[in-house]
Structure 1
Amino acid sequence: MSPQQTSTAQPVDASGQDLNPAEPDDALKEEYAELVDRVRAARTAYYVEDAPRISDAEYDALYRRLEELEALHPQIVANDSPTQEVGGEVSAAFAPVEHLARMYSLEDVFSTDELVAWMDKTAAAVAELPGAPAPAWLTELKIDGLAVNLLYRGGELVRAATRGDGTTGEDVTHNVRTIGSIPTVLQGEGIPEEVEVRGEVFISAKDFRALNEAIVAEGRAPFANPRNAAAGSLRQKDPEVTARRRLSMYVHGVGAATGLEAATQSEVYGLLEGWGLPVSPYTKVLASTGEVLELIEEYGRRRHDLIHEIDGIVVKIDDRRTQFRLGHTSRVPRWSVAYKYPPEEVNTTLLDILVNVGRTGRVTPFGLMEPVRVAGSTVEMATLHNQDVVRAKGVLIGDTVVLRKAGDVIPEIVGPVVALRDGSEREFVMPTHCPSCGTELRPAKEGDVDIRCPNARSCPAQLRERVFHAAGRGAFDIEALGYEAALALTAPDEPATPPLTSEAQLFDLTPEDLREVRIRREKRRKGEPTGETELVPYFWTKGTAKKPSEPTATTRKLFEELEKAKSQPLWRVLVALSVRHVGPTAARSLATAFGSMQAIRDADEQTLAGVDGVGPTIAAAVTEWFAEPWRCEIVERWAAAGVRMEDEVDASLPRTLEGVTVVVTGSLERYSRDSAKEAVLQRGGKASGSVSRRTDFLVAGENAGTKLDKAEQLGVPVLDEAGFELLLARGPEAFAGDGDDDDTPPPPGAGQDAAAETTDDEDGK
């Protein structure tokens, strides 16, 4: 059984008996909550911002650990866990588009043993279907691109949208029309009156290199990898920019289709190609597991010689009727899987091991290496986590080390090449004092592996990290306050006293306060580095005899965004405070439960711990944070500067949903997903993201999908939009004793092609 299928199931032994696992402790619950937040943040960075902050390999590890915890402890599964959803979100920069049939992710496997096990299990499932043919395996390259859904009506392209969250995507029609390989009008015979065509938009390896060379020549930062180049190009607001990026597309299936007749997926590809759509030249139908493994080995050798970058091989059952009968889990098809190639490895020299001090004081070693090209990028740094990891890996400064990097990921030092040592190598010694402020380092509590700088108030490194965190997308969302700006505010080269000695001063800053701030940068002549450095103003222009110094455009933007940040909701302010363990999930829970910063400060630890989604560990951290006067000063100074410390509550709204859990799925006419969730929360209810036995009501709009199926299986009452509004107005009592199911909407998508195609590029992110 796949991890996706087991994530919410009670573990059983070989005889099928429940193992009844013990209640997880606070540390495990804390780890789980952090994993949920990190996976969700990674998805947003990857799919919405086109700027991944962690590697595919790191994401896969986080996601698998999340699945492992949920399988071992099903009682902690969060209703909004990423394992219960198709990954991805919809950017506010483009109009939302509802897909006619849902787009799914793919289950990933990371070894040939896992792949063989999946194929054996799937073949056994097919053998149990009466009349089903033995599986033929359709194989495709896993393109490093962006999933796109093309909608044709009467043979004409009327809409193109990104995958988004699987139900709702972003309208990128104008940009897709600039891609030469995508026909605006289909040709040939047998074209359905309405059909969704799914595929991957990508940039070829050759065109990617040329694009990055052009961008660097213009003095701009290059794209990290082809996937982000394709995604960033397709999301340009100016279609002319997209047209210059030389994007391509290969289609790999259909979603909703009217009158499409094809017995196999490979026949569908033949039809698509006959209508003028671009189909991958690398697709093959194979008869056996051995042939599939041979193909994986072949493309593993050739992966850098292909038209586009790949990170794996997709394997599907070719027979479409069998696909339909096997169906889907809540987020992946049971008839398709993605095998991912192992991370790539190179050798390089470990020049030094340095340490970084984080916003909570944790001191983390990292390796500084001879720059080396691996997996499409140049790498010179890699984390080593803590002194125990350094010791466990056995690496010495000066070693030749094995560096592993999977695709576009954060690299990992695997270990030393001991045979190449010449005796000049030396051991890393963990510092005893903070490299930023000189304070003696120590564990936060007895038994901790990590050591920390206890000088939270005055350590420049911690302050820098906290200021950068406060400006992040999950907090105040101040785009102009990036990492270098945070460094310039807290530890500039000049003056000796920085503009910020506490984040309490952040909203008191004026442009004049930043006039003298200077940082050291390398001199350049005709665009080339000279090896010399100079002090230059950071927030103001240099100024000349003809044009006096003035705040830069970025500095002006910084102060505009600081002003806007004052009106952010309470939960974002809580995140910005850098309270240990308080991420977006816990912050939302606290803000919803208490409504104001003062109420949170006044609550005792037991009251805080009783809030759903908080618990004793987070409650203790919040209590400890507010016990420090200098931290309370941050709140007071921000409040005095006009930062919002209390959420607006409409007192006229009745608290009709106290203690009621509601799940909203599908598309509603008068509510977006966020506004429907907000309507539930404002009336005292809990807005969940997945259906369980604890769900009181499911609100089902168009294209409700598997949540509707699960609700019906569990006997959860199902409401349409009119029923939802009645629930908001009158609460559960409006439906007491109502056994009439007339208001239950029919399953969305009835009559559509049930074997909706997956998006081959998705890793569950």
Structure 2
Amino acid sequence: MPERAKPVADLDESEAVGELTRLADALTAHDLAYHQQDAPTISDADYDTLKRRNLEIEARFPELVRENSPSQRVGAARAEQFSPVEHGVPMLSLDNAFSDEEAVEFDARVRRFLRADAEPIAYTAEPKIDGLSASLRYEKGALVQGATRGDGRVGEDVSQNLKTVADIPHRLKGSGWPDVIEVRGEVYLGHDGFAALNANAEAAGQKTYANPRNAAAGSLRQIDPKITATRPLRFFAYAWGLLSEPFAQTQWEALAKLKAWGFQTTPQSQRVVGPQGLLAAYREMEAARPKLAFDIDGVVYKADRLDWQSRLGFVTRTPRWAIARKFPAERARTVLEAIDLQVGRTGAVTPVARLRPVTVGGVVVVNATLHNADEIARKDLRVGDTVVIQRAGDVIPQVVEVVLAERPADAVPFEYPTHCPCPLHTPLARETTASGAETVVRRCTGEFACPFQRIEHLRHFVGRRAFDIEGLGEKQLTAFYERGWMREPADIFRLARDEDRLTELRGSDGYGETSITNLVAGIDERRKIPLDRFIFGLGIRHIGETTSLALARHYETVETFIKAGQAAAQQRPGADYLALSTLDGIGPTALEAIIAWARTKPDVLVPAQASMDERLRLSIPKINSRARQALVDLFGDWATFEAAVTKAAGQGPGDDFLELATVDAVGVVAARMIAEFFGEPHNRDMVTNLAAELREVQAVARPKTDTAVAGKTIVFTGALEKMTRDEAKAQAEGLGAKVSGSVSKKTDLVVAGPGAGSKLKTATDLGIEVITEDEWLALVAG
């Protein structure tokens, strides 16, 4: 709804009530997903945005604060499979700071409250471990109970699971500990442990985790402690709850005593003084983050003197004496450990950064795109560099910049390979445009002889948006390729009826009778496929889902489409025609007008001293100023232009190619890709073989024109709760709408779910109508 983004200052009381209700529902759902199910549905940054908006509304309308407000609770209620544990002292959450200004203001608030204008305030600055909070109760030095935070007051009894964590002492060392003490800290997984856990889970066909925090929480909540014992969990101690007697005068002293009693404490913690100390500690922790063996998502500042902590006390559910300074949610520093080449299904070679693992936006990032060789040279990326990476939403992580101050002395410039990394080591060639200009893209010249391209092509074919064949992932495809069983899509369907190979497969590579039955069933189920998925599955360059759907609707049957592609291959335009047709600013109408003029060259009165732009305007009045400028830039003078377009006019495509190019959402470039694809004998054979293995290629229904959303451009953003994003897209397109991935002035409607971010803001700024998922369903139903 548009009012969701309405500034808090502009809300009236009734709007505030509605907003608080919506925010309470959303935050409750996200708390359950995060704390109980270990499967968060939005990023920490988006969650913090919702929570901060709730606090801002409550600050403006204090009379609307309810007992069950998200601001009055911590985490979520305990899961029912564990017994309840009431904490002797509540485990509260921290307020957050996101900028230098907010960190400085935290110090100012502490000073104002303590009236300590003259005396500098000392703080501890401790890394904020991204794990699961736990409380350990010791009586006379013996561990008697362990619990999760739960809702802050009541947690879950996971004593037996916590006792399997190697860093947690069953009995305290040394002396001087209180008879009763609740030691608090964070259960976490290091990067190596997380990678090993996910690798083992994937090999066993089990669920993998998105990040170490989820993995740690899932491991600690196992019903069987024997399972928890197999997980490489770690523990850092940093606080305490209930005490039978004080044991320290400062936070810094307390950390030293916890370490002496046998706990691991974060070695990166430090004691600082004043606001400049806070800022310096943040910078140091940010720089150290890439080199740590575990995830941190910020720095926790705590007033060092415990008597001052006591005086400062709490506000609502957070302490006044501590705050969490968070790192930017979508950016992080890490180390560039290697640069590899990744070969796509069309032979395009993309450099990939292999990174030291770091969690960004709730996901562990180990790879990032480097785009191309020119980009590596421009940024002067070198193996060993500390780099800043960025990940926003579903965007592929990318390297933003190099931290030159931390470059190793022995780092050398990267030399881009000249040959494909495949076993053939075929040369890499720069791709050229139709006009002969080189692009930044380098391609392997081995084409389908290159095994990387074959495997990528097969992976694309079985992908969710193409043939969507269950049980055939990258691991299986690679194994079958190495056995020599799969070289083209038809081989997949041949395998399902090849009893000799299926017999050979039984008992090997983890395949039992059930696995083989399911694999065959998954393959056979896709012998009936819609035409648009068939076209998309072919993996033709520049032919995406939207173009595939347009082609399917235009040609209706697979036989007609194949015939059209083969005919277009025989009627491809020449190089000069293509150079003209792909010139930026020359659309179909302008191209037609230029070719028509070149063929007839009618007499037009043109002043002798006229500029080329003026001659074009008078001679070919149908082309606009942008097209004229493109022609002037390319050809420079009238004689060169006339000679080139006269030549291009003799290289025009045939009628079948023109029909292909004029299909909605296709165009000359995509038509050329289809024609080139069908111009290759091995591609024609591949399509023929595939079609022979299928039972039916279904026609695609034409879009409706009589619905409430027909002809409109729709954008879906945020988390959809009643259907998947693919289902929503299919539903909208079936009703005659166009679905876009970005919001612009051409967008007619935005459907926003919980966690909607920048797209919702853009829509609001542009005045575009925004509705909820429920309102969308009501709209399309009526």
Between 1 and 2, higher relative CO (CA 8 Å, sep ≥ 6) is seen in: 1
The structure richer in helix per residue is: 2
**TM-score, length-normalised on structure 1?**
0.47
Larger radius of gyration, structure 1 or 2? 2
